[in-house]
Structure 1
């Protein structure tokens, strides 16, 4: 568990499946605007349990790290944040992704979670670089990353297929300051 001022992030456990399902169902339309297609079982308790088991295995394999974003006051799950496509060897890098309950947007929770996961990535996982890709019209997400220390690197043209359409993505990154 990584503690922030108002939130904490922790790896998902099977006991989080119901809360994760509720978060996904409540925000389905909102989240799907920014994500790739979901499998048929995604919006079921069995599907969420299956994913949590996959998350645990991916963490053991050092390939992906999935965390829930929880409020400190109520211990309520309000979002997800992850490091994915972890590459070792000469790259030592990963991508960051996140979703926050729409009603909690704009309150600084995702920025706080991003800072926590970056700290974890650099200090615990010893990564050199974390990269993000954000649709250019998603100003809120770009702001989150910039507040967390990421810098803009350029625009990747039609590089991610979202809802059947190839979308441009603003590329942002942060480098481990201890590696410079």
Structure 2
């Protein structure tokens, strides 16, 4: 796996390469590909996401999203990536490291989405592995956390294949698809054993 510093990407955020993937922060030129993939995947994604705004896929909404990502990065609160194929030519999905807590905690949460045409092919499992390495090695975090709906077997599989351990259930934790819903809570420590993975 290689961590590279892109000259035009937001300051200090690397490009991640490995496992047939290319990951970098989103930029304004990604709008068309992002909007097309999200629109195509709407029925696939909405059962697992907060209710979409009326202008969810508008260019203005995308610009606001980028500003939010950039602010989080500047303030050491989060890092966001778009996931592409290894050539960087096709957008597959997205992954965020958010709610970074420093001090005695050194932890963050991860969240992710994959476009419908690319689901079930192992891309997100590999993307989470790349980001876990980055979080523990480059961000010096001690712990990663993730929450998912009990019926989201695909997401549970992604986490378990990366060594995350189920730590409990969070009652009515997030408002998803219009209702407060219970979530399963998973954690991964920097010292936890993780599956060996080919990251070339």
* TM-score tier (shorter): over 0.9
Provide structure 2 residue ranges, at least 5 long, that are not aligned to the other structure.
1-14, 193-200
Does 2:188 correspond to 1:170? no
Residue number among 59, 63, 72 corresponding to 1:45 in the alignment: 59
Residue number among 32, 39, 42 corresponding to 1:25 in the alignment: 39
For residues 58 and 39 of structure 1, what CA distance do their matches in structure 2 show? Answer: 21
Equivalent residues in 2 for 1:94-173 (5 A)? 94-173=108-187
Total equivalences in the alignment: 178
For residues 150 and 138 of structure 2, what CA distance do their matches in structure 1 show? Answer: 31
- 1:105: how far off? 1.1
- The worse-fitting range, judged by mean Cα deviation, of 43-52 and 63-72 is 43-52
Partner of 1:16: helix, strand, or coil?
Answer: helix
- 1:163: how far off? 2.1
Does 2:19 correspond to 1:5? yes
The equivalent residue for 2:76 is 62
Q: TM-score if structure 2 supplies the norm length? A: 0.84
Partner of 1:40: helix, strand, or coil?
Answer: coil
- The worse-fitting range, judged by mean Cα deviation, of 44-53 and 143-152 is 44-53
Please identify runs of 4+ aligned residues in structure 1 that moved more than 3 A: none
- The worse-fitting range, judged by mean Cα deviation, of 32-41 and 148-157 is 32-41
CA contact 1:158–1:166 (8 Å) conserved in 2? yes
RMSD: 1.5
Greater share of helix residues, 1 or 2?
A: 1
Does 2:121 correspond to 1:82? no
For residues 147 and 63 of structure 2, what CA distance do their matches in structure 1 show? Answer: 27
